[in-house]
Amino acid sequence: MAEITRSLFAADVLVAEIDPRRVAPSTLLPAEAAQVARAAAKRRREFAAGRLLARRLLGRLGVPEAFELLAGEDRAPIWPAGVVGTISHTSSRAAVAVARAGDVLALGCDLEHDEPLDEGILRRVCDPREREWIASRPLAQRGRLAMLVFSAKEAAYKAQYPLTGKILEFSDLSLDLDPGGTFRAAFQTDVGPWRRGQCLRGRWHRAGGLIATAVTIRPGETGPGALHAAARSKKEGRSGG
């Protein structure tokens, strides 16, 4: 299967994808399985797909196969010490990206079906400036561009979260999309180490009926604020072995 997310990341970020319909929940390790024991079958498959991919990639970074990638109370995965990562899934594709924490501070990835975003959701996701930009585009493209804005904000949200612990509103980020496949997400308020107006940079790609977006935050791109992740992995006392 061609990896839709490969072009979104530099070579020091490992990526893997799979169709979650091909993954059995029985591939989960015991504590992982317990976290979704009461979930619907589709959710258990998605969760298992993310864990299966993560295990493969973590193995390439030297993390033992027995490492259980648990979800925190906030639902964010608790990556082993020394590793950052991100997970996304749709009904037909799951993607995981991981990197060494020395190279990358945080990753965020999002996959969506390449379909028009529902009008009601569009009004919640897009600010007036983004709506104006979408309205300036050909009618046939608008709904899918709105979906792209939605996905890029989700990817930016996931990337900033391990560093700030902040749950953002869609209005906290304002998007500028470049047709060539890059975007900037500008903070509309101070968040963690970022001041209002500072940007996260990302990439986007469309293929096979999907939209994929990703943000990579490198050391030096955040100022002196990357404390949340370090404090958290210390608190959890988790190790990648």
Ligand X SMILES: CC(C)(COP(=O)(O)OP(=O)(O)OC[C@H]1O[C@@H](n2cnc3c(N)ncnc32)[C@H](O)[C@@H]1OP(=O)(O)O)[C@@H](O)C(=O)NCCC(=O)NCCS
Contact 88, 53 (CB under 8 A): no
Between CA 105 and CA 231 the distance in angstroms is 13
Contact 199, 142 (CB under 8 A): no
Q: Which is nearer to ligand X, 9 or 161 (CB)?
A: 161
Our finding on whether 38 is near ligand X (CB under 6 A) is no
Q: Which is nearer to ligand X, 142 or 228 (CB)?
A: 228
Q: Which of 17, 32, 46, 130 binds ligand X (CB under 6 A)?
A: 46
What does the chain come to in residues?
Answer: 241
Q: How far is the CB of 212 from ligand X (least distance, A)?
A: 10
Q: How far is the CB of 128 from ligand X (least distance, A)?
A: 16
Our finding on whether 40 is near ligand X (CB under 6 A) is no
Between CA 63 and CA 222 the distance in angstroms is 27
For 221, other C-beta atoms within 10 Å of its C-beta total 18
The closest of 105, 182, 172, 120 to 148, measured between CA atoms, is 182
The closest of 83, 16, 84, 82 to 51, measured between CA atoms, is 16
Which ranges of the chain would DSSP assign to H, the alpha helix?
A: 30-35, 41-60, 119-125, 128-135, 139-164, 227-236
Q: How far is the CB of 49 from ligand X (least distance, A)?
A: 8
Q: How far is the CB of 53 from ligand X (least distance, A)?
A: 10
Interface with ligand X by CB under 6 A: which range of 6-14, 67-75, 134-142, 209-217?
A: 67-75
Binding residues for ligand X, rule CB under 6 A, total 22
Q: Which of 17, 32, 130, 154 binds ligand X (CB under 6 A)?
A: 154
Q: How far is the CB of 159 from ligand X (least distance, A)?
A: 8
| Site track for ligand X across 99-118, x = CB under 6 A | -----------x--------
DSSP states of 140-156 as a string?
HHHHHHHHHHHHHHHHH
How wide is the angle at C-alpha 85 spanned by C-alphas 79 and 160, nearest 5°? 105
Our finding on whether 17 is near ligand X (CB under 6 A) is no
Q: How far is the CB of 43 from ligand X (least distance, A)?
A: 8
Q: Which residues bind ligand X (CB under 6 A)?
A: 46-47, 50, 71, 74-77, 87-89, 110, 153-154, 157-158, 161, 167-168, 170, 172-173
